[in-house]
Amino acid sequence: NAGVTQTPKFQVLKTGQSMTLQCAQDMNHEYMSWYRQDPGMGLRLIHYSVGAGITDQGEVPNGYNVSRSTTEDFPLRLLSAAPSQTSVYFCASSYLLSDSRQETQYFGPGTRLLVL
């Protein structure tokens, strides 16, 4: 299993450009999430999905779109990049173990984005 994979690893954009950050998992997990990590801010939830076709907003959704057409893939789209979106983006996947509140959670290696 590759786990959670993210592409690209690094990206430089100019203000106003659009791009898609890719995230894929091969563990058949139901749940997937996108977070951004900024210095001194911890990780903040952007969007999440509880299954194919179902997405919802997190704490900081403005400027980002997501879709979940398959269980495996959860791309994050920046519609018109702004310098405030300079950050490290992490995708995560998880599922709830049956008959338990124990949950697994796996993070990808991250995409480092610089918006000029």
Partner 1 sequence: TQLLEQSPQFLSIQEGENLTVYCNSSSVFSSLQWYRQEPGEGPVLLVTVVTGGEVKKLKRLTFQFGDARKDSSLHITAAQPGDTGLYLCAGGRESYQLTFGKGTKLSVIP
Binding residue (CB under 8 A) for partner 1 from 26, 104, 114, 116: 104
| Rounded distance between C-alpha atoms, residue 9 and residue 28, angstroms | 23
Binding residue (CB under 8 A) for partner 1 from 50, 79, 114, 116: 50
Residue with smaller CB distance to partner 1, 5 or 17: 5
46, 76 in Cβ contact below 8 A?
yes
Least Å from the CB of residue 77 to partner 1: 19
Least Å from the CB of residue 107 to partner 1: 3
Q: Which stretch binds partner 1 (CB under 8 A): 13-21, 64-72, 76-84, 92-100?
A: 92-100
Site for partner 1 in 1-20 (CB under 8 A): 4
Judged by CB under 8 A, does residue 44 bind partner 1? yes
Q: Which residue has the tokens 């210095």?
A: 39
- Structure tokens that stand for 66 in this block: 């997501």
Judged by CB under 8 A, does residue 114 bind partner 1? no
Contacts of 115 (CB under 8 A, 6+ apart): 12, 13, 14, 15, 81, 82, 83, 84, 85, 86
In angstroms, the Cα distances linking 73 to 1, 27, 35, 58 are 15, 11, 15, 18
Q: Which residues of the shown chain bind partner 1 in the complex (CB under 8 A)?
A: 4, 31-33, 35, 40-45, 48-50, 58-59, 90, 92, 94-96, 101-110
